[in-house]
Amino acid sequence: MSLTLSDVHDLLLRRGQTQYGLEAINQLEHALQCAHLAELAGETSETIVASLLHDLGHLLAAEREGTVEHDTTEDDLHQFIALPFLRGLFPDAVLEPIRMHVDAKRYLCLIDPGYWADLSHASKHSLEQQGGVFDEAQAQAFIAQPYAEEAVRLRRYDDLAKVPNKQVPGLAHYQEQLANVALRPLMA
């Protein structure tokens, strides 16, 4: 079942108040910080929307399981969960960076020597659950994919979007971009 823009908005507001994994912020704060960083960097509307929605799979998994928060003891494959729900709503320029943002972390750990050291404890923990650092062949196959560069930039925003009490624009700020990027901007 494909979500509408209204469904996405409601899900972010309803489930977004839950804690973001083991970080000191909630899911919505993380999404808004990530989108704000992408916007400040001058990203396309598609990459900004991908940054806003990259962890929507966590919220959908919690909704499906009827839990308040997602389980942090194992990988929930959140990068894939949201795709069927968003496929009819957004183009590949939004969906592919979402799908690849976990692998982008695995890639960055290989190609950037300082990247691992800068990861939060929670992100290091989830990396191990997500398959660990890529080897050279995996890294080359990853970066050759369309939208991989966008996924890498999204990943860097993701890593920085964990600041408690940071003031950023609210969800209403992104409504026009969501509607402009949507394939079928239905609000009902």
Q: What is the mean pLDDT of each run of 10 residues along the chain (188 residues)?
A: 90 89 87 98 98 93 60 61 93 97 94 88 80 93 98 96 95 94 66
Whether 157 is in a domain gets the answer yes
Q: Tell me, what's the pLDDT at 66?
A: 55
CA atoms within 13 A of residue 36's CA, in its CB half-sphere: 18
Whether 73 is in a domain gets the answer yes
Classify each residue of 101-124 as buried b or exposed e, where b means 16 or more C-beta atoms within 10 Å of its C-beta.
Answer: bbbbbbbbbbeeeebeeebeeebe
Whether 186 is in a domain gets the answer no
* 3-class secondary structure, 19: strand
Distance between CA atoms of residues 60 and 85, nearest Å: 9
Whether 42 is in a domain gets the answer yes
Note whether 31 and 20 are within 8 A (CB). Answer: no
Q: Tell me, what's the pLDDT at 92?
A: 97
Please return the burial class of 140, using the count of CB atoms within 10 Å of its CB with bins 0-12, 13-18 and 19+: exposed
Please return the burial class of 43, using the count of CB atoms within 10 Å of its CB with bins 0-12, 13-18 and 19+: buried
- Provide the number of structural domains found in the chain: 1
Distance between CA atoms of residues 116 and 167, nearest Å: 27
Q: What is the DSSP secondary structure assignment for residue 70, as one 8-state letter? A: -
Whether 162 is in a domain gets the answer yes
Whether 63 is in a domain gets the answer yes
Q: Tell me, what's the pLDDT at 184?
A: 65
Q: Tell me, what's the pLDDT at 125?
A: 80
Distance between CA atoms of residues 37 and 11, nearest Å: 22
Q: Tell me, what's the pLDDT at 73?
A: 47
Note whether 1 and 60 are within 8 A (CB). Answer: no
Distance between CA atoms of residues 169 and 188, nearest Å: 24
Question: Structure pTM?
Answer: 0.89
Q: Tell me, what's the pLDDT at 24?
A: 83
Q: Give the domain CATH number at 19.
A: 1.10.3210.10
Whether 188 is in a domain gets the answer no
Among residues 117, 136, 137, 142, the alpha carbon closest in space to that of 127 is found at 117
Q: Which domain holds residue 94?
A: 5-181
Whether 128 is in a domain gets the answer yes
